Amino acid sequence: MTTNNKPRWVFFGSSHFSVIVLDELKSLGLLPDLVITTEDAARGRGLEVKPGEVKEWAVKRNLQVLTPASLKNEEIVTVLKSLGPWDVFLVASYGKIIPCSVFEIPRAKTLNIHPSLLPKFRGPTPIESAILFENEMGVTIMEIDEQVDHGNIVIKKIVPVPHWPAYYKDLEEILAIEGARLFSKILPEWLEGKISATKQDHDSATFTKKFAKPDLLFSLTDPAENTLRKIRAFSENRGAYFITNHQGKEIRVIATKAKIVDGHLVLERVKPEGKKEMNYDDFKRGLK
């Protein structure tokens, strides 16, 4: 710890979830001394090389940023050690492998905010998977180790979620904020060695996958609950979709908003292939 009793720490993240965590930590008075995120890349329709949103967030606040292509080299380890000493590292949706040569650098280890109640939903899509298959949601602070979402649990919390199943964006925000608050809450005692992490029940672990295009397809005759979950789970990325026919042509239609009324699925907003988002009733009138 520094003389003014503020911890020196590094944040690893690369997604919108990461930015929400950073925003909440800033509001709690916890700004990282260094941010590590992904390198600039071609983004948007014009494929212009731009920084990711985590880098943009850090630069606006005059924070030091590193964007290594990989953490699996001695150069980044040397740089991190030279910028230390560090009290703790925090990971929140970084998206790259963090080797032990990096996560063992800080004196109080490397912690991770994971948006599920581990050991449930390890892997790349815990939020989507929870919306699809679960009725209870939460967030976990865990130690990073050499396996994915396998480390010891520092603390976890069940998080009440209104209007379940939630839309992805809403659940992402709730869990990111709760994860940041939980990290802030336990950090002082964690750094003082007053909290002991506990081993996960690995036999109870469940694993998520990256979803492919066929996983996003649904039929309007599928069970309403299953379809609603699919629409809301994929509402912030590629979108769950159905196929309809018009004048002998198949049209792919993404459903962006839906609800259940009297046990029946009601589509509210859709985005037909090649067109702007619209009300579903307007889309149906257009077909006629």
5-63 residue pLDDT tens: 789 999 999 999 999 999 999 999 999 999 999 998 877 777 788 889 999 999 999 99
- Is the pLDDT confidence value at 248 over 80? no
Across the range 226-243, mean pLDDT stands at: 95
**Do both 199 and 225 map to the same domain?**
no
Q: Containing domain of residue 233, as a range?
A: 213-287
Work out the burial of residue 78: count CB atoms within 10 Å of its CB; fewer than 13 is exposed, 13-18 middle, 19 or more buried: exposed
Regarding whether 261 and 149 lie in a shared domain, the answer is no
Sign of CA pseudo-dihedral 106, 53, 152, 191: positive
Q: Could you say which of 178, 204, 230 is where a domain stops?
A: 204
What is the overall mean pLDDT for the chain?
93
Contacts of 99 (CB under 8 A, 6+ apart): 71, 72, 146
pTM above 0.75, yes or no: yes
The domain tally of the chain equals 2
Determine if the peptide bond prior to 188 is cis (ω within 30°): no
Q: Are 115 and 175 in contact (CB under 8 A)?
A: yes
pLDDT of residue 4: 60
Q: For residue 280, what is the enclosing H or E element?
A: helix 280-287
Domain boundary residue, one of 204, 237, 270: 204
Same domain, 229 and 111: no
- Asked if the structure places residue 198 within a domain, the reply is yes
Residue 152 and residue 42 share a domain? yes
Looking at 23-27, 39-43, 231-235, 269-273, which range is the least confident one?
Answer: 39-43
1 lies in some domain: no
Contact 256, 215 (CB under 8 A): no
CATH number at residue 53: 3.40.50.170
